[in-house]
């Protein structure tokens, strides 16, 4: 179960990287003046929508992953706190990145 959830969390990192790349492209378009105002507004609206949708997915995942270790202690004799702590750190990093992109937009 840990490996499945860890892969899910690790899959979130490239998504946030893609959002950051898209944000940089929009910023470059704004400051370069290469696109029309309508295209830039459209790009900003699409990026904002993607950020909001991703935040809606990540927010509940943080809560589940945060309490998962305590629930699994009943079934596992091994101390998994380091592993789940690492997963929680990754989720926090994803959330912080999403929060940063939201502020920039």
**Per-residue pLDDT tens over the stretch 29-80:** 888 877 788 888 999 999 999 999 999 999 999 888 888 877 777 777 777 7
Whether 15 and 54 have beta carbons less than 8 Å apart is answered as yes
The maximal CA–CA distance of the chain, rounded, in angstroms, is 61
pLDDT band at 19 (very low <50, low <70, confident <90, very high): very high
Q: Taking Cα atoms as reference points, which of 2, 45, 3, 51 lies closest to residue 26?
A: 45
pTM assigned to the model: 0.81
Say if domain 2-104 classifies as CATH 1.20.58.
yes
Give the start-to-end residue ranges of the domains of the chain. Answer: 2-104
Residue 77, phi then psi, degrees to nearest 5:
-85, -20
């Amino acid at each position: 179960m840990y490996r499945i959830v860890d892969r899910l969390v690790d899959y979130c990192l490239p998504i946030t990287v893609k959002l950051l790349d898209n944000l940089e492209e929009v910023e470059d378009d704004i400051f370069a003046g290469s696109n029309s105002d309508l295209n830039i507004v459209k790009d900003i609206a699409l990026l904002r929508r993607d950020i909001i949708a991703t935040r809606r997915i990540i927010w509940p995942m943080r809560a589940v992953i945060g309490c998962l270790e305590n629930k699994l202690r009943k079934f596992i004799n091994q101390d998994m706190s380091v592993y789940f702590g690492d997963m929680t750190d990754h989720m926090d990093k994803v959330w912080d990145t999403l929060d940063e992109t939201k502020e920039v937009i």
